Structure 1
Amino acid sequence: MTDLPTAFDNRVSRDLGVAIPIVQAPMGWIARSQLASAVCEAGACGIIETSSGELDAVKGEIAKMRELTDRPFGVNIAQAFVRDPAIAEFVIDQDVQFVTTSAGSPTKYTSVLKDAGLTVYHVVPTLAAALKAVDAGVDGLVVEGGEGGGFKSPTPVSTMVLLPLVRERVDVPIIAAGGITDGATMAAAFALGAEGVQMGTRMVSAAESPVHTNWKQAIVDATETDTLFLNQRHSPALRALRTERTTRLADSPDNVFGQFGDAQALYFGGDMEAAIPLGGQVAGRIDAVRPVADIIADTVREFAEVVERLRG
């Protein structure tokens, strides 16, 4: 691996046990061994999802991870989507050291996970949520701006506003999420107080992502205005790519989760109208399907170039 910026030796990289403090988002059905192991092998941190609710499959994916990489990885607990009351014990039994918790209260699992020796970061969309998570004893935060894809607060705040706001009030390490796709956006996140970043939409479009080519191409073809914010009258809201289906649902007063559709037909069958293709505004900056190793390497290189330019 080429020389890394000194800024990368920080609390986040040490908590994750990785050389490069980039985290791959824990997207349901997508954040499994094929993608996550590629991220780990590139020197960053792959995350295995639980939001699919398929815990037997998740357990198998964790076993595959250990066949594909000997590097550290993490697991996410998406509380709103995993109803199994023993999910914390399930994660502890997988013998991982890093876990993110999301879509629920940080008071629910933080203590039991930390008592078992795990490092716990909680995903937060607001300052109030960040303060609550710190009070609950989390080791760090994933501060998630509303421009990101996937499940969101119904009252989104952009990363540019939320990240420095949280940094001003807390001392714990922060991973920035939402709008991150390259070295320039990573450097911007560091300037605003982050010590790591999370990539979601960029990883959905990666060569190793298990989703159908049609979804990856839709990301590549998207402009910066080609996402819609759905379910604003309910929680969680969703940011998704613009399709006929999502355009139809955009103004619906109903909870769109009841109309999410056939996820498998979208994710792996490539039918872009079969379900809601989650994605962030940063899709407008993604212009090619690229291997994870190239994405990570170019991010590191560009980060160093940006920092050097600003220093000069």
Structure 2
Amino acid sequence: MIKTRITDMLGIQYPIIQAPMGWIARSALASAVSNAGGMGIIETSSGDLPAVREEIQKMKGLTDKPFGVNIAQAYVRDADIVSFVVDQGVKFVTTSAGDPNRYCAALKEAGLTVFHVVPSLAAAIKAIEAGVDGLVVEGGEGGGFKSSREVSTMVLLPLVCSRLDVPIVAAGGISDGRGMAAAFALGAEGVQMGTRMVSAAESPVHQNWKSAIVEAKETDTVFLNRFGPGPACRALRTEKTTLLEKEPGENGVAPEFRRSQELYFGGDMEASIALSGQVAGRIDSVKPVAEIISEMVGEFESIMDGLSARYARARA
């Protein structure tokens, strides 16, 4: 066990959280993460709450370990989303893509632990003032929908950690124990992984997307829609996204997600946008979640022990 405030709060073995990717963060992937000692998360950003409810019920049959739900505020239209989450018996929630004040008080009143996802120091301070228990600090190199003024994890994480004394999960650019050790050195007490989990064996996406991640170089993502309308995002470079990088269109990139299912599950990489982070350039194989987490923890411990021993000798 890697003991931090986050493992204590969430009751998990390792402070490793799976990102809540829309349509992807469902029971097959999330239960594998929880069973491997991390924190599996069920998404709501698909907006399909009946399916989400079904996935949560499946989770209860697939794992007896803790798991959580993400409330993606910009994509969930149900005014009763707090009641929906509470009724499922979930104890941990991450909120994202919106004002942390919107749901925090109601979730906390119901006894849930709440972390909010933030892309800047100002957003982090606002979330703490709203009463959240912790933060997911997300660097701009990560995949998915982003702030248009992205800041790298290497800059953002230590900045937030130096100003706020709350449990912090680092997100963006992390795929293994080396990245986890770096995040801890910068002040985090846990990590969140998205792209690495998209490429996992239990991920429901088509093999074409997984293969594209494995084959990607570190330069093979694009940052789209920086000037709107709508949110910016980071995705794998394809013919479509290369064109969108230069000419996003009058309505931004949002219309391109109408055919997302054809890419996600049909394997047509030009049908939509494959949201992925720069860390795709460091992922070289598809592996089961249990293997990913086991190797990650082993590498993390080896690096931390090695650094301690090496620099202890240097000081002697």
Q: CA deviation at 1:14?
A: 1.5
Q: CA deviation at 1:18?
A: 0.3
1:67 aligns with 2:30: no
1:250 is matched with which residue?
245
Residues in 1 aligned to 2:152 and 2:73: alpha-carbon distance in whole angstroms = 23
Q: After superposition, where does 1:163-202 map in structure 2 within 5 Å?
A: 163-202=157-196
Q: Deviations over 1:90-125 (max 9, x none)?
A: 111111110000000000000000000000000000
Q: After superposition, where does 1:135-284 map in structure 2 within 5 Å?
A: 135-234=129-228, 235-253=230-248, 254=250, 255-284=252-281
Q: CA deviation at 1:258?
A: 2.1
Name the TM-score, length of structure 1 as normaliser. Answer: 0.97
Q: CA deviation at 1:226?
A: 0.2
1:78 is matched with which residue?
72
Q: After superposition, where does 1:29-108 map in structure 2 within 5 Å?
A: 29-108=23-102
Determine what percentage of the aligned residue pairs are the same residue.
Answer: 68
2:127 is matched with which residue?
133
Decide whether the 8 Å contact of 1:261 with 1:276 is kept in 2. Answer: no
Residues in 2 aligned to 1:168 and 1:37: alpha-carbon distance in whole angstroms = 34
Q: Classify the secondary structure of the residue corresponding to 1:175.
A: strand
1:119 to 113, 136, 140: 113
Amino acid at match of 1:124: V
Amino acid at match of 1:236: P
Q: CA deviation at 1:252?
A: 2.4
Query: What runs of 5+ residues in structure 1 fail to find an aligned partner?
Result: none
Decide whether the 8 Å contact of 1:22 with 1:197 is kept in 2. Answer: yes
Q: Deviations over 1:215-269 (max 9, x none)?
A: 0000000000000000101242100000011111112253111233401111110
Q: Deviations over 1:49-101 (max 9, x none)?
A: 00000000000000000000000000000000111111111111111110000
1:291 aligns with 2:285: no
2:312 is matched with which residue?
none
2:19 is matched with which residue?
25
1:110 aligns with 2:104: yes
Query: What runs of 5+ residues in structure 2 fail to find an aligned partner?
Result: 310-316
Decide whether the 8 Å contact of 1:186 with 1:303 is kept in 2. Answer: yes
Residues in 1 aligned to 2:147 and 2:304: alpha-carbon distance in whole angstroms = 32
Decide whether the 8 Å contact of 1:15 with 1:98 is kept in 2. Answer: no
Root-mean-square deviation over aligned CA pairs? 0.8
Q: CA deviation at 1:38?
A: 0.3
Q: Deviations over 1:139-166 (max 9, x none)?
A: 0000000000001000000000000000
Q: Classify the secondary structure of the residue corresponding to 2:191.
A: strand
